[in-house]
Amino acid sequence: MLATLWDYSDTLFPLAVLLLLLPCKQMPGRQLLSAYLVFTILVMGYTNYLADKQTNNLPYYHLYSLGELLLLGPLLYGFGAANRRLRLSLLTGYVLFWLVNIIWLEPPKVFNSYSATLLSFVFSFLCFRYFLHLVQSDQILSFQKQPGFYLASGVLFYAIVTILVISSYKHKSWFSTDDLYMIWSIQQVANIIKYLFFSTAILCCYWQSRPAGSSS
């Protein structure tokens, strides 16, 4: 059972977070987060199915990167200060690069290392932007109660690990087979940690919605 949980963690953990989120009506950005989780479950579930059938699943990672930007990007953006021009610039710039990458650089049957890395940098920027907004507001006094803090922390952690992992795979001749397996395992652990951060964000909302005076 533990082996199954590990092998399909990219599908099972978002499913667990979605089940935790569904009753939480007061979660900020609930609709976007729900859509992102459903999208992740469907795409990652299907890529796992194709992998089990020894069928090339790499085209769906191209699709997933674009879907992440469209669903998770606005969620992160919504926690920071509003800037419509910046939002449009990031979206347009990434979509154009994504198209160039899939047409000329890394076709559908090749892993989208360039667009995935750029997406991680975009997410890192949005997370740092949120943290800057947080420290400049009164919310910093209760940051540990802010769902956005945990969502951004999880995304930032995973984005940084992704950049390092993809960089390692682009130079895989430097590493042994065992080293590459360990690097991929680090990526899986980082993904699990991201969803644990998401769960903590949702639990914050449950905690804040308790009736005043209820026991801890």
pLDDT in tens, 7-66: 999 999 999 999 999 999 999 999 999 999 999 999 999 999 999 999 999 999 999 999
pLDDT band at 214 (very low <50, low <70, confident <90, very high): low
pLDDT higher at 178 or 60: 60
Provide the residue type at 163 as one letter: I
Predicted pLDDT at 82: 62
**Among the listed ranges 92-96, 132-136, 160-164, 172-176, which one has the minimum average pLDDT value?**
172-176
CB 37 within 8 Å of CB 195: no
pLDDT level of residue 81 (50, 70, 90 thresholds) = low
Is the pLDDT at 78 greater than 70? The verdict is yes
pLDDT surpasses 50 at 215: no
List of residues 6+ apart from 61 with CB closer than 8 A: 47, 111, 112, 116
Give the model confidence (pLDDT) of 87-109 as tens digits.
889 999 999 999 999 999 999 99
SS3 annotation, 93-146: HHHHHHHHHHHHHCCCCCCCHHHHHHHHHHHHHHHHHHHHHHHCCHHHHHHHHC
pLDDT on residue 216: 44
How would residue 80 be classed by pLDDT, with cut points 50, 70 and 90? low
Residue 110, both tokens: 């090749």
Tell me, what's the pLDDT at 87? Answer: 87
- Across 147-165, b (16+ Cβ under 10 Å) vs e yields bbbbbbbbbbbbbbbbbeb
The one-letter amino acid code at 213 reads G
**How high does pLDDT run on average in the chain?**
92
Tell me the domain boundaries of the chain.
Answer: 2-205
Rounded Cα gap, residues 23 and 85, in angstroms? 34
- What letter would DSSP give residue 81? -
Confidence of residue 1 (pLDDT cuts 50, 70, 90): confident
pLDDT of the residue at 122: 96
CA 134/CA 101 separation, integer angstroms: 34
Contact 106, 113 (CB under 8 A): yes
Tell me the DSSP string of 170-203: HTGGGS-HHHHHHHHHHHHHHHHHHHHHHHHHHH
